[in-house]
């Protein structure tokens, strides 16, 4: 069962991936069949079960308040597709 | 010199220390092998100059008696691990030209232990796949072919390049990552050993993230002992990774005592799936016989949530990936496709930079996290994940390790299983539960299919009990006596 | 209720809730080791973690957690022993990861309150809904180039405390008072420097209106990133009027995000895509729940400095100050500290007058902060001692103070140098008074026949004759005696 085209379009916008009209239908079909397959999870009784967000068996480690990083602008900008006067340059953002 | 590529990592290590050959010779032999096997497309970046420089340094240290654990041993690195100043692309167009200014913790540990870097291996784009056919650098070929059939086969994925390189003897070992089975499944398809340690055993710092709570770096090598040595070097607490386990690393190789008398080995009935090929069932049975012969006791156990594991994974992994991959936006590194506005730039860049499978997973992930769907999908999946972990905890009260097949089939041909995404996902049905529960698991080659392709057996252990996993795997390896070799 | 706004068709109530983003005082960022100092060259305080490079991971800064808990304690709030970090997902040029690490359903601090003593004497309790930890974003500069936006990530990853008030505020004035009080508490605690010009404290204002007597909340608009208390008050007033006009004309309010244009004094809508309101929050899988040890929290509680409300109460109860004076002095910890040093072992009321009057007046004139005051607290105290022991009169003390400001010398030195010691010997004063009376016999006669106003003339002349140094009380005494003789 395919996903609704408008939903796919909205999701694609949320994810900032341009999807052409022709791709939209194919995607709607593929996503629909994946989601249909996932429906089986509704059979499971999860009442009273706490969600598991991590399998790490430990407490959150904390770091000291020391300056141990930064200060290497060249390294930060070396891979930039476009850079100007030490800034990252992108097409203008309108607020 | 091609003799040198026939050695196991462990034997090469001994040979170097005994002065039978130099690190330089060993590395040159592997570089030659790589050059001769480019048709496999296992490597996406070769680093011969660096390799020779590292080998020279290793020879100096060996001469001074200062050899590190893996001194002088040439290994390959999955192109998901950031290697300083060396192209790291996750086999995606969106990371075109990216050279990280930092080295991943795991690979730095390898270099600190004296290993030599041969180059970066191919993978399914962003580690999403089970065939290594979605790499932007083209598919990888499995060095194995079906008896009497010339069609190229997939090496499995996502660490297909690493598995193929090790199987074809282009490297003594290679790094991989396992999120749904991406170390163990390709190892099984390529007739080599693949080890996924406990979550948090190896640091994720500097590994391009796919699904943060499921990503496990680990080794691929030709023998269990080789994998144990590599894992030794790769493991350890990293304060830069908040999920890195703050516990000491045991001597993994020392666990290969060959003695599993008295151990209880769980055989989960739910892993016997409908339509499973008889050769897989047969291999599994043989595995049970081997452990019995070694003095261990098979115990039937139940892991009732097994059948839901894959669907659970296909909610959680894409959800985390959709967020982890948001940083690929054309602003600070990688591909940028221009746009009239910044949003257009984002949309154009990500459309051009991501392949179809990655896009599908980002969209599914975005969908299951979106308003109105979070509880029904993501939250529910996290609860089922807790139940899966609970299954294993209960099982491990009655057994010390679990034995299953690694994959529901041997390697398939390139182009097969492409009709719909779900068919491809089913490759990971046996491997996924151990990722969801974060438990250590290994695949080792244990037999051949009717077509002459390698089949793997799979051992799962308790959290941080890699030692028992290695011990059981070592015994199975001895009993299986797998000596078959790929044609290429 | 004095807070109602008169509209064309009746009275309206303005309902305001404030979300304040306070930058945490720390050396390093919330999840990385890069520096937080303001004013550095672009992109020189950026870790690869802040820039969201592939494979980078967050590790939380313990000090930032402490600062958040201390702030919660200072707001009399519930500290939650377990809290969760969530990812808030959206795309923006200065948000490198495409998500912000924040806290959504389980913040580190829960309900608390801020108490306001309003000028009309009313005491208002403004509820705090919650306080949570989150990352700051980088800075986008839109005015450096015609077609490009420039991005500086120095600020990306700096720790923020988001402090959310209940919609308990009912006027722009109250909102201003709340922000001033909140800022004061943060500065007392040392958890945020409250510098709104530098952006360490920013405010989002949620404003809605409803007809007087209505209990349901109206639709609200959110005015983002207002960076001064004055602008917050202006924005609220403008927005309230805007909404009242729309509703009185029969329209309805659109729930939207707006910006305050300081030049025009107006709010206007932000141009963001509707779709982006879906942040797809989920727990950050790179982090674990933040678990706080109750003993550790207790330790922080015991270590808190005395906060403005408690200090004010003590100034009133133990030092006898008026609530008004106490309020003025405790608004800034540095002011209160200065005052207490001056007041120690001295007349607190006198000290309060000199500090709030003469000292603050001088500092304002000189454009200096109290930390840079030319007259230190001990030095001012010494001046007050000279008044108390009658070495100089209150009048002369003002001149001495002026000289202290100018020269930096001590009160004692100036009095000696300029011979300003008060004359307390009756001899010279008697002589001066007799001389004045003798030289103005006609005025003496006029005074004795009823012109009482001339008394001041005699005082002035006698004071002048003593070079201003006569002890006023003694001079009065002697003059009266002589005049009634």
Assess B348–A contact: CB distance below 8 Å, yes or no: yes
pLDDT tens digits for range B283-318: 999 999 999 999 999 999 999 999 999 999 999 999
Q: Is residue C252 part of a domain?
A: no
The answer to the question of residue A22 being in a domain is yes
How far, in Å, CA of C133 to CA of C287, rounded?
Answer: 13
Does residue C349 sit in the same domain as residue C414?
A: yes
Count of domains forming chain A: 1
**Does the beta-carbon distance from C98 to B323 stay under 8 Å?**
yes
Chain C positions touching chain B (beta carbons under 8 Å): 48, 51-60, 87, 89, 91, 93, 96-99, 149, 151, 273, 278, 280-282, 285-288
Residues of B in contact with A78 (CB under 8 A): 99, 101
C132 vs C102: CA distance, rounded Å: 7
Beta carbons of C93 and B369 less than 8 Å apart:
no
Task: Say whether B344 and A91 touch across the interface (CB within 8 A).
Answer: yes
C50 and C187 in a single domain? The answer is: yes
Contact predicate B274/B409, CB 8 Å: no
CA distance B388 to B385: 5
pLDDT tens profile A36-49: 999 999 999 999 99
B169 touches C: beta carbon within 8 Å? no
Both C396 and C439 in one domain: the answer is no
Mean pLDDT over C256-279 rounds to: 82
Write out pLDDT tens, residues C361-371: 999 999 999 99
- Give residue C71's pLDDT band: very low, low, confident or very high (50, 70, 90): very high
pLDDT band at C272 (very low <50, low <70, confident <90, very high): low
Q: Per the CB < 8 Å rule, is C96 touching B327?
A: yes
Q: Is the pLDDT of residue C181 over 70?
A: yes
Tell how far CA C350 is from the center of its chain.
Answer: 24
Percent of chain B at pLDDT > 90 equals: 94
Tell if the CB–CB gap between C273 and A65 is shorter than 8 Å: no
Of A12, A31, A41, which is closest to B381 when you measure between CB atoms?
A: A41
Task: Reduce the DSSP state of residue A7 to 3 states and report it.
Answer: helix
Q: Which residue range forms the structural domain that includes residue C401? A: 305-418
Please determine, for residue A95, whether its predicted confidence score (pLDDT) is greater than 70: no
A56 and B245: CB-CB below 8 Å? yes
Residue A31 inside a domain? The answer is yes
Distance from CA of C233 to the nearest CA of A (A): 23
Q: Is B311 on the interface with A (CB under 8 A)?
A: yes
Domain contains A78: no
CA–CA dist B310, B429 (Å, integer): 6
Residue with tokens 């590790």: C59
Q: Which subunits sit against C, judged by 3+ Cβ pairs under 8 A? A: A, B
Q: Looking at the structure, tell me whether residues B222 and B159 fall in a common domain.
A: yes
Is A58 part of any domain? no
pLDDT at residue C106 in the model: 97
Pairing of strands B216-221, C11-23: unpaired
CB B42 within 8 A of CB B164: yes
Residue with tokens 């996902």: B425
Single out the residue in C418, C452, C469 at which a domain terminates: C418
Q: How far is A78 from chain C (nearest CA, A)?
A: 12
Kindly list the residues from chain B whose CB atom is less than 8 angstroms away from the CB atom of residue A43: 308
Q: What is the mean pLDDT of residues C425-436?
A: 86
Residue A64 inside a domain? The answer is no
pLDDT the model gives residue C274: 47
pTM as predicted: 0.92
Residue B375 sits in the same domain as residue B428 = no
Would you give the DSSP letter of residue C301? H
Q: What would the 3-class secondary structure string for chain B be?
A: CHHHHHCCHHHHHHHHHCCCCCHHHHHHHHHHHHHHCHHHCCEEEECHHHHHHHHHHHHHHHHCCCCCCCCCCEEEEECCECECCECCCCCCHHHCCCCCCCCCHHHHHHHHCCCEEEEEECCCHHHCCCCCCCCCCCCCCCCCCCCCCCCCECCCCCCHHHHHHHHCCCCCEEEEEECCCCCHHHHHHHCCEEEECCCCCCCCCCECCCCCCCCEEEEEECCHHHHHHHHHHHCCCCCCCCCCCCCCCCCCHHHCCCCCCCCEEEEEHHHCCCCCCHHHHHHHHHHHHHHHHCCCEEEEECCHHHHHHHHHHHHHHHHHHHHHHHHCCCCCCCCCCCCCCHHHHHHHHHHHHCCHHHHHHHHHHHHHHCCCCCHHHHHHHHHHHHHHHHHHHHHCCCCCEEEEECCCCCCCECCCCCCCHHHHHHHHCCCHHHHHHCCCEEEEEEEECCCCCEEEEEEEECCCCHHHHHHHHHHHHHHHCCCCCCCC
- Measured between beta carbons, the chain C residues lying within 8 angstroms of A68 are 28, 33
What does the pLDDT read at residue C422? 77
Q: How far is CA B47 from CA A43, A75, B52, B120, B330, in A?
A: 51, 22, 9, 8, 27
CATH number where B24 lies: 3.90.1300.10
Count other C-beta atoms under 10 Å from residue B83's C-beta: 24
pLDDT of the residue at A93: 82
Interface of B with A in 370-409 (CB under 8 A): 370, 377, 379-387, 389
* Mutation site, A50, A60, A88, interface C, largest C CB count within 10 A: A88
Task: Verify whether the Cβ–Cβ distance A51 to B377 is below 8 Å.
Answer: no
Query: Quick check: C119 pLDDT over 90?
Result: no
**Across all residues in chain C, what is the average pLDDT?**
93
Look up the CATH number of the domain holding residue C431: 1.10.10.410
Cβ-Cβ pairs closer than 8 A, A with C, add up to: 138
Quick one: CA torsion of A23, A25, A31, A32, rounded to 10 degrees?
180
Residue B37 has pLDDT above 80, yes or no: yes
pLDDT for B1 equals 47
Residue pLDDT, tens place only, B203-261:
999 999 999 999 999 999 999 999 999 999 999 999 999 999 999 999 999 999 999 99
**Are both B139 and B193 inside the same structural domain?**
yes
Q: Quick check: A78 and B99 CB within 8 A?
A: yes
Residues C68 and C169 placed together within one structural domain of the fold = yes
Do C329 and C413 share a structural domain?
Answer: yes
Question: Is residue A10 domain-resident?
Answer: yes
Query: Looking at the annotation, which residues of B are catalytic?
Result: 78, 158, 182
Give the per-residue pLDDT at C1: 46
Contact B154, B139 (CB under 8 A): yes
Distance from CA of B205 to the nearest CA of A (A): 15
Distance from CA of C221 to the nearest CA of B (A): 21
**Nearest residue of B to residue A44, measured between CA atoms:** B384
Chains in contact with B, where contact requires at least 3 CB pairs less than 8 Å apart: A, C
Q: Best of A3, A6, A41, A62 to disrupt the B interface by mutation (most B CBs within 10 Å)? A: A41
| C-alpha to C-alpha distance for C184 and C307, rounded to whole angstroms | 9
Q: Across chain A, which distance is largest between two alpha carbons, in Å?
A: 58
Domain end, chosen from C247, C269, C300, is at C300
Q: How many domains does chain C have?
A: 3
Q: Strand C221-226 to strand C201-211: parallel, antiparallel, or no bridges (unpaired)?
A: antiparallel
**C409 to chain A, closest Cα gap in Å:** 42
Contact B319 C282 (CB under 8 A): yes
Q: What average pLDDT does this structure show over C300-312? A: 95
Residues of chain B with C-beta less than 8 angstroms from the C-beta of C286 = 209, 212, 242-243
| Chain pair B-C, CB pairs under 8 angstroms | 96
Which domain, by its residues, includes A11?
5-42
Residue B474 lies in a domain: yes
Q: How far apart are CA C25 and CA C8, in angstroms?
A: 47
Locate all alpha helices (DSSP H) within C194-307, ordered by sequence: 229-248, 294-302
Among B413-417, C371-375, C394-398, top mean pLDDT goes to: C371-375
- Regarding whether B230 and B196 lie in a shared domain, the answer is yes
Q: Mean pLDDT across the stretch C275-287? A: 87
Q: How many folded domains does chain B comprise? A: 2
Inside any domain, residue C221: no
What proportion of chain C, given as a percentage, has pLDDT over 70?
98
**Range in B107-111, C380-384, C451-455 the model is least confident about:** C451-455
DSSP C81: S
Nearest to B363 among A31, A33, A50 (CB): A31
CA–CA min distance B131, chain C (Å): 23
Mutation to test the A interface, candidates C33, C36, C278, most A Cβ within 10 Å: C33
Beta-bridged to residue C208, according to DSSP, are C15
Burial class (CB within 10 angstroms; exposed 0-12, middle 13-18, buried 19+) of C1: exposed
In this prediction the ipTM stands at 0.97
> What's the whole-number mean pLDDT along residues B163-172?
98
Any idea what DSSP says for residue C358?
A: I
Please indicate if any CB of chain C lies within 8 Å of the CB of B82.
Answer: yes
Q: Which domain holds residue B152?
A: 3-261+402-480
Query: What are the chain C neighbours of A67 within 8 Å (beta carbons)?
Result: 27-28, 33-35
Partner A contacted by B327 (CB < 8 A): no
Is A70 part of any domain? no
Min Cα separation C279/chain B (Å): 8
- Residues of chain A contacting residue B338, judged by C-beta atoms under 8 Å apart: 91
Are both B357 and B442 inside the same structural domain?
no
Looking at the structure, do residues C325 and C450 belong to the same domain, yes or no?
no
pLDDT value at position B416?
83
Query: Cβ–Cβ of A93/C149 closer than 8 Å?
Result: yes
**Matching residue, tokens 């163990």:** B184
**Cβ distance of B363 and A15 shorter than 8 Å:** yes
Task: Note whether residue A23 is domain-resident.
Answer: yes
> Within an 8 Å CB–CB cutoff, is residue C44 touching chain A?
yes
Question: Is B369 within 8 Å of C280 when comparing Cβ atoms?
Answer: yes
Closest-CA distance, C28 to chain A, in angstroms, reads: 5
Find chain C residues with C-beta within 8 A of A92's C-beta: 142, 145-149
Is the minimum CB–CB distance between C40 and chain A shorter than 8 Å?
Answer: no
């Amino acid at each position: 069962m395919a996903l609704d085209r408008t939903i796919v379009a909205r999701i694609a916008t949320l994810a900032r991936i341009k999807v052409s009209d022709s791709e939209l239908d194919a995607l709607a079909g593929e996503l629909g069949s994946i989601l249909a397959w996932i429906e089986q999870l509704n059979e499971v009784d999860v009442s009273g079960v706490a969600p598991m967000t991590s399998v790490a068996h430990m407490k959150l480690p904390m770091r000291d308040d020391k300056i141990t990083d930064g200060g290497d602008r060249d390294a930060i900008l070396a891979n930039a597709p476009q850079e100007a006067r030490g800034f990252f340059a992108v097409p203008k953002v309108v607020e | 010199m091609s003799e040198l590529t026939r050695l196991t990592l462990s034997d090469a290590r001994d040979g170097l220390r005994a002065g039978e050959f130099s690190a330089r010779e060993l590395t040159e032999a592997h570089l030659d092998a790589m050059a001769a096997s480019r048709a496999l497309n296992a490597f996406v970046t070769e680093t011969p100059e660096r390799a020779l420089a590292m080998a020279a340094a290793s020879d100096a240290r060996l001469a001074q008696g200062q050899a590190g654990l893996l001194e002088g041993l040439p290994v390959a690195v999955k192109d998901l691990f950031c290697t300083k100043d060396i192209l790291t692309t996750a086999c995606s167009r969106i990371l075109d030209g990216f050279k990280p200014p930092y080295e991943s913790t795991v690979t730095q540990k390898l270099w600190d232990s004296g290993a030599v870097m041969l180059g970066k291996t191919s993978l399914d784009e962003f580690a999403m796949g089970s065939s290594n056919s979605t790499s932007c650098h083209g598919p990888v070929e499995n060095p194995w072919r079906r008896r009497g059939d010339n069609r190229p086969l997939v090496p499995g994925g996502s660490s297909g390049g690493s598995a193929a390189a090790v199987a074809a003897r282009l490297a003594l070992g290679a790094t991989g990552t396992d999120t749904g089975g991406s170390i163990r499944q390709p190892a099984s398809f390529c007739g080599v050993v693949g080890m996924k340690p406990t979550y948090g055993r190896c640091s994720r710092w500097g590994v391009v993230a796919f699904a943060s709570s499921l990503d496990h770096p680990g080794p691929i090598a030709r023998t269990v002992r080789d994998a144990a040595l590599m894992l030794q070097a790769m493991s350890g607490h990293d304060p830069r990774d908040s999920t890195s386990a703050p516990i000491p690393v045991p001597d993994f190789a020392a666990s290969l005592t060959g003695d599993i008398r008295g151990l209880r080995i769980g055989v989960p009935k739910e892993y016997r799936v409908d339509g499973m090929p008889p050769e897989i069932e047969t291999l599994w049975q043989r595995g049970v016989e081997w452990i019995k012969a070694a003095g261990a006791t098979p115990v039937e156990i139940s892991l009732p949530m097994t059948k839901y594991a894959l669907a659970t994974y296909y909610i959680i992994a894409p959800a985390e990936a959709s967020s982890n991959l948001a940083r690929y936006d054309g602003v600070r590194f990688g591909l940028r496709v221009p746009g009239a506005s910044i949003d257009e730039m984002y949309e154009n860049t990500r459309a051009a930079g991501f392949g179809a499978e990655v896009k599908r997973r980002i969209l599914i992930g975005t969908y299951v996290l979106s308003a109105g769907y979070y509880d029904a999908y993501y939250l529910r999946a996290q609860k089922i994940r807790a139940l899966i972990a609970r299954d294993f905890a209960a099982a491990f009260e009655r057994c010390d390790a679990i034995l299953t097949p690694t994959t529901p089939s041997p390697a398939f041909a390139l182009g097969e299983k492409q009709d719909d995404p779900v068919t491809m996902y089913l490759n990971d049905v046996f491997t996924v539960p151990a990722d969801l529960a974060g438990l250590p698991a290994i695949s080792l080659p244990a037999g051949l299919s009717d077509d002459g392709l390698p089949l793997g057996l799979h051992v799962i252990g308790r959290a941080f009990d890699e030692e028992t996993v290695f011990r059981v795997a070592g015994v199975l390896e001895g009993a299986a006596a797998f000596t078959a070799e790929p044609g290429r | 209720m004095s807070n109602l706004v008169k509209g064309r068709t009746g009275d309206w109530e303005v309902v305001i809730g404030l979300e304040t983003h306070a930058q945490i005082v720390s050396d390093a960022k919330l999840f990385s080791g890069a520096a937080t100092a303001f004013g550095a060259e672009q992109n020189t305080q950026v870790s690869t973690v802040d820039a969201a490079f592939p494979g980078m991971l967050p590790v939380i800064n313990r000090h930032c957690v402490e600062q958040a808990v201390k702030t919660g304690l200072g707001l009399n709030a519930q500290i939650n022993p377990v809290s969760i970090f969530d990812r808030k997902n959206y795309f923006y040029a200065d948000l490198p990861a495409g998500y912000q690490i924040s806290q959504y359903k389980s913040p580190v601090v829960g309900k608390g309150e801020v108490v306001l003593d309003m000028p009309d004497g009313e005491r208002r309790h403004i509820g705090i809904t919650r306080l949570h930890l989150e990352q700051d974003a980088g800075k986008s500069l839109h005015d450096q180039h015609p077609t490009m936006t420039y991005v500086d990530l120095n600020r990306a990853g700096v720790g923020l405390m988001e402090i959310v008030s209940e919609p308990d505020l009912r006027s722009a004035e109250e909102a201003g008072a709340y922000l001033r009080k909140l800022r004061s508490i943060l500065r007392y605690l040392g958890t945020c420097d409250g510098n709104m010009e530098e952006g360490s404290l920013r405010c989002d204002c949620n404003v809605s209106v409803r007809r007087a007597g209505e209990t349901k909340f109206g639709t609200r608009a959110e005015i983002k990133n207002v960076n001064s208390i004055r602008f917050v008050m202006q924005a609220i007033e403008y927005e309230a009027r805007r909404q009242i006009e729309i509703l009185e004309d029969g329209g309805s309010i659109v729930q939207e995000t707006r910006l305050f244009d300081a030049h025009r004094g107006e709010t206007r809508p932000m141009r963001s895509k509707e779709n982006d309101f879906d942040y797809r929050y989920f727990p950050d899988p790179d982090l674990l729940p933040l678990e706080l040890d109750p003993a550790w929290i207790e330790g922080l509680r015991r270590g808190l400095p005395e906060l403005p409300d408690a200090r004010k109460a003590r100034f009133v109860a133990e030092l006898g100050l008026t609530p008004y004076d106490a309020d003025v002095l405790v608004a800034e910890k540095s002011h209160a500290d200065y005052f207490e040093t001056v007041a120690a072992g001295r007349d607190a009321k006198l000290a309060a007058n000199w500090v709030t009057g003469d000292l603050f007046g001088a500092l304002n004139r000189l454009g200096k902060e109290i930390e840079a005051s030319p007259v230190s607290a001990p030095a001012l105290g010494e001046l007050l001692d000279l008044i108390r022991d009658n070495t100089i009169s209150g009048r002369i003390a003002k001149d001495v103070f002026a000289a202290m400001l100018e020269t930096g010398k001590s009160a004692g030195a100036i009095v000696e140098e300029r011979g300003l010691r008060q004359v307390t010997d009756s001899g010279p004063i008697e002589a001066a008074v007799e001389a004045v009376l003798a030289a103005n016999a006609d005025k003496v006669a006029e005074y004795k026949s009823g012109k009482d106003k001339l008394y001041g003339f005699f005082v002035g002349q006698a004071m002048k004759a003593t070079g201003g140094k006569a002890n006023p009380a003694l001079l009065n005494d002697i003059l009266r005696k002589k005049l009634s003789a």
